[in-house]
Amino acid sequence: MALKRRSRPRLAVWLRIYAVVGIAAALVLLGIGTWLFRWPGFAVSHIDVVGNDVVSSDEIIARARIEPGQNVWLLNLANVQRRIEAVPYVAHASVARRFPSGVTVLITERAPDGCIVAGRTLNFTIDTESRVLALGCSSELPRFDVALSVRPHPGDFVTDVRLRRLQADVHLLADPHRFAYFDFDRFGGFEATLSNGIVVSFGADDRLREKEDLITPILQTQGHPLSDVKELDLRVSAVPVVVYRTLKEIPLRFQDSEGSSHNM
């Protein structure tokens, strides 16, 4: 006898079966997901801040603006990172979830690189990218005489070509702390003022370290008091020139009873 062949379910039947199973599975997953998102165990309970030194952890947490009890799954980490990096001293912030209810913020801070002297009482601390870190300056920082058309605020980047060039030149010096100010002369040459008021004209930006090494030997061989020296011209390092103050510029001196010299 011929065997009867089983009839195969039609394609539409199988599709309906798969559709029902798929919808049921999706509903189950949706329910599980909804339960997980609403589970109190995922509510943010602590934020750990590491890597910060200048900026306080309290300020970073405040800038992050993570609401207490907010679900850790629903945090927009990119937005949290941008808010923290708006803090002037923060160079980079890495934000990560720590399940079930924690957040870790890893901070990389900016380092002060110099001071913009924009007026008698208007100074700004900046970093290597010319970002304003704070109002006011430490006396230990290199000071740049820069005229700013717009007053910056902490967190702003100063886009001034002269300033960026000054910072680059200062980084080429061996001991920038011996100078009080840095500027450019009327010809665009780099110049620096020593703490005793003597202006050192370096000229072009090349061979700055070599020219810097000439300062101390030249000043040590001066027969005049250093207060008489107005400028040290090193634009041509092979032929350095010492410029003295005029009689009107030289401080008046007198002799005391022991014969020593004093300035008035």
Quick: pLDDT tens for 115-125: 999 877 789 99
Selection from 89, 95, 85, 132 nearest residue 111 by Cα: 89
How high is the mean pLDDT in each 10-residue block of the chain (264 residues)?
A: 54 68 70 66 91 97 92 93 97 95 96 89 92 92 88 93 93 93 92 93 92 93 82 92 78 43 37
pLDDT value of position 38? 66
Q: Whole-prediction pTM value?
A: 0.75
pLDDT value of position 15? 67
pLDDT value of position 231? 94
Tokens representing residue 142 in the block: 């290199």
